[in-house]
Amino acid sequence: MATKNIARTYCSASSRDMPNGALVAERLNMRERVMITVVIPTLNAETGLSATLTALVPAVVEGLVREVIVVDGGSSDRTLSIAEQAGVEVVASPAGRGGQLRAGAARAKFPWLLFLHADTVLEPGWEREAAAFMERVNAGAREPAAAAFDFALDDMGFAPRCVEFFVRLRCILLRLPYGDQGLLISSQLYSKIGGYRVMPLMEDVDIVQRLKRRQIILLRPRAVTSALRYRRDGYLRRVMKNQFCLLLYMLRVPVGRIAQVYGASARGATNRGA
């Protein structure tokens, strides 16, 4: 199994925290309920990929995450080495997040898909709430739906908290999570709505808009995303650019034109947030 290596360092500590019988029973129960393929698009993602993969380890140990696919768009740094050392599957793809996500989904073997950016770290305990959501869908307790996590930035101060507040407000009012919040969706629903499209920008908004409002669920665990680009560009400038691009998209400006405004040369490793 491709996830074997990233689980190895966690197993001994986890087994000490729970009686052996309970640990085995919990693992078997989790495996029977839900299984996930995680798809991570990368392009020169060495600074964040290790932390992103490490956050998946508890779910691998519990049998929830059964496969991790890193879809690389031509990295020239240590991204491929990190992925290979973790023991995950690596797929080569032309750069462009929409195409990379689509390529990863096409290789997935398990009934649920979790699309995750390479600089986004899911906080401890995410797997429990994700499993509960998937169980409700699988049991027919709610209609088929997709889920995203609560957005957070790995930075201190007033500016990142403001960004987080407005992202939360956008998600509540518009049910419009971005890709850096992750997207958890069954392979059946993913196929039904046509999956990710190959486009230079806005692929995350595009796929969410093909879901009904009631089909977008916001989970409580945080998806903590790198604030590096906010610090580099300036919080206000980056937020204004993000909102301007979203406005252009809603006004049906061609995505290629929007990509020119946004700066698509860095697209493969970009997050947007607010």
Tens-place pLDDT, residues 66-124: 999 999 999 999 999 999 999 999 999 999 999 999 999 999 999 999 999 999 999 99
pTM of the entire structure? 0.86
Q: How confident is the model at residue 13 (pLDDT cuts 50, 70, 90)?
A: very low
| Residue 227 within any structural domain of the chain | yes
- 193: Cα within 13 Å, side-chain hemisphere: 20
- Tell me the CATH number at 167: 3.90.550.10
CB 102 within 8 A of CB 46: no
Name the domain count of the chain: 1
Among the ranges given (48-57, 78-87, 171-180, 255-264), the one the predictor scored with the smallest mean pLDDT: 255-264
Which amino acid, residue 21? G
| Residue 253 within any structural domain of the chain | yes
- Determine how many CB atoms are found less than 10 A away from the CB of residue 233: 13
| Residue 29 within any structural domain of the chain | yes
Residue for token pair 């462009």: 96
Q: What separation, in Å, do the N-terminal and C-terminal C-alpha atoms of the chain show?
A: 37
Res 263: pLDDT: 77
**The pLDDT of residue 65 is above 50:** yes
| Residue 129 within any structural domain of the chain | yes
Domain hosting residue 93, numbered range: 4-269
Res 5: pLDDT: 65
Provide the percentage of residues in the chain whose pLDDT is more than 90: 81
Res 262: pLDDT: 83
| Residue 274 within any structural domain of the chain | no
CB 208 within 8 A of CB 140: no
Res 79: pLDDT: 98
- Overall size of the chain counted in residues: 274
pLDDT digits (tens, 9 = 90+) for 202-243: 999 999 999 999 999 999 999 999 999 999 999 999 999 999
Helix ranges (H only) for 87-185 are: 97-107, 126-138, 158-174
**What average pLDDT does the structure give for the chain?**
89
| Residue 161 within any structural domain of the chain | yes
b/e burial code for range 171-198 (CB count within 10 A of at least 16 → b): beeebbbbbbbbbbbbbebbeebebbee
